[in-house]
């Protein structure tokens, strides 16, 4: 039976950091297929400044063989977990699925049916820190 690794993340950064890469590459090494599910909200904001299309392109540029899907925020963790399970089953019926996560991942709130694996994080900056530096640098360039 084919093994599928699923990673859920917002990936709201201008480029993947070492922790993101380690997580994706760990899943790739351990699985036949990897599905990255992008957390998505319709409204761009300071916390979610990059579009689904931009994040999709960033991930595919680094990992062309992964599959991508998106999941919207839901009212409850239970509804969100149910929706995630539906996305996975639709893409990969009757397969051996494992969900992978690391620092600040969805694993703590996931209430679905698939087994989970926590990958110890690499020391790397958080997405929040990366976004702050990115926009501060962008603002400085605009001011000059």
pLDDT tens for 107-131 read: 999 999 999 999 998 776 666 666 6
Q: What is the pLDDT of residue 85?
A: 98
Tell me the pLDDT band of 104, cut-offs 50, 70 and 90. confident
Total of domains in the chain: 1
Mean pLDDT of 21-36: 97
Instruction: Choose between 32 and 142: higher pLDDT.
Output: 32
User: For 31-64, what is each residue's pLDDT tens digit?
Assistant: 999 999 999 888 888 788 899 999 999 999 999 9
* Cα of 31 vs its chain's centroid, Å: 16
**Closest C-alpha among 36, 28, 32 to residue 8:** 36
Among candidates 80, 62, 79, 61, which has minimal Cα distance to 70?
80
pLDDT at 41: 84
What is residue 127's predicted lDDT score, i.e. its pLDDT? 62
Would you state the pLDDT for residue 132? 66
pLDDT in tens, 59-99: 999 999 999 999 998 989 999 999 999 999 999 999 999 99
Q: Are strands 116-118 and 67-72 parallel, antiparallel or unpaired?
A: unpaired
The angle formed by the CA atoms of residues 129, 105 and 96, to the nearest 5 degrees, is: 145
- Residue 97's domain is classified under what CATH number? 3.40.50.620
∠ at Cα 50 (48, 128), nearest 5°? 50
* CA–CA distance, 73 with 27 (Å, rounded to integer): 24
Rounded Cα distance, 132 and 122, in Å:
20
- Return the percent helix, strand and coil in the chain, to nearest 5: 40, 20, 40
pLDDT given for residue 43 in this prediction: 83
User: For position 60, what pLDDT does the model report?
Assistant: 97
Domain that holds residue 55: 3-143
């Amino acid at each position: 039976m084919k093994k599928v690794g699923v990673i859920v993340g917002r990936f709201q950064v201008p480029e993947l950091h070492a922790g993101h890469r380690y997580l994706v590459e760990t899943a790739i090494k351990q699985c036949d297929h990897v599905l990255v599910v992008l957390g998505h909200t319709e409204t761009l904001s300071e916390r979610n400044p990059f579009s689904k299309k931009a994040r999709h392109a960033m991930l595919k540029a680094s990992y062309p063989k992964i599959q991508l899907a998106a999941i919207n925020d839901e009212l409850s963790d239970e509804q969100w977990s149910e929706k995630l399970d539906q996305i996975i089953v639709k893409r990969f019926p009757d397969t051996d699925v494992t969900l992978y996560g690391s620092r600040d991942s969805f694993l703590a709130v996931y209430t679905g049916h698939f087994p989970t694996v926590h990958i110890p994080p690499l020391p790397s900056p958080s997405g929040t820190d990366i976004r702050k530096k990115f926009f501060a640098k962008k603002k400085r360039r605009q001011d000059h």
